[in-house]
Amino acid sequence: MNLFPNEKKILSSNQDKVVLTSHRICMTDKDWGSYYSIEFFLENISSVEVRRSSFIVLLILGGLSFFTALYLQSNNSHYGGNEYAIFYLVSFVLLAIWLLSRQRVIRISSNGGGSMNMDVKQMSKEKIQNFIDELELAKCNRIEILFNRTNNQV
């Protein structure tokens, strides 16, 4: 990313995939033969959203399977086998898939244009909030500079 005159890099995140400067925000990503890049000027940002999601159905099914295994194990004399082991295995697999399905995403939308979706599963809540605060402060500073330029030219 080449910086414009008077543009300063403020911070970068997600292993330098996202770069915030005093003028714009840019996200680039490379993965197995594909390349993705999006950037927009800070004054064009319309919203910032943090979303956390997972497949809660897998958690529920895993829990039901686990409690079924407990029930079958406690009543083992009635059934005479180890059917409960299968339910333990199923509950473990479902809970593992649920853990892997959890996502935390920051979505930055521009006025009438595209949006930037950043996977921030590895970032703590404090780091996410710090990133959003820095982004909003940079946007306020950018708008103030543009407003002052417009008023000085009139």
DSSP string, 32-99: TTEEEEEEEEGGGEEEEEEEEE--HHHHHHHHHHHHHHHHHHHTHHHH-S-HHHHHHHHHHHHHHHHH
Q: How confident is the model at residue 32 (pLDDT cuts 50, 70, 90)?
A: confident
Q: What CA–CA distances, in Å, run from 31 to 10, 18, 72, 102, 139?
A: 26, 15, 46, 20, 30
Whether pLDDT at 120 is above 70: yes
**Who's near 20: CB < 8 A, 6+ residues apart?**
9, 10, 11, 12, 13, 131, 134, 135, 138
pLDDT at 154: 55
**Average pLDDT estimate for 61-71:** 91
Q: What CA–CA distances, in Å, run from 89 to 65, 69, 75, 116?
A: 9, 9, 18, 39
Beta-bridged to residue 45, according to DSSP, are 110
Q: What is the pTM of this model?
A: 0.70
pLDDT at 102: 87
How many percent of the chain have pLDDT more than 90? Answer: 23
How high is the mean pLDDT of the chain? 86
Closest CA to 136 of 13, 48, 19: 48
Q: Which two tokens stand for residue 101?
A: 């399905």
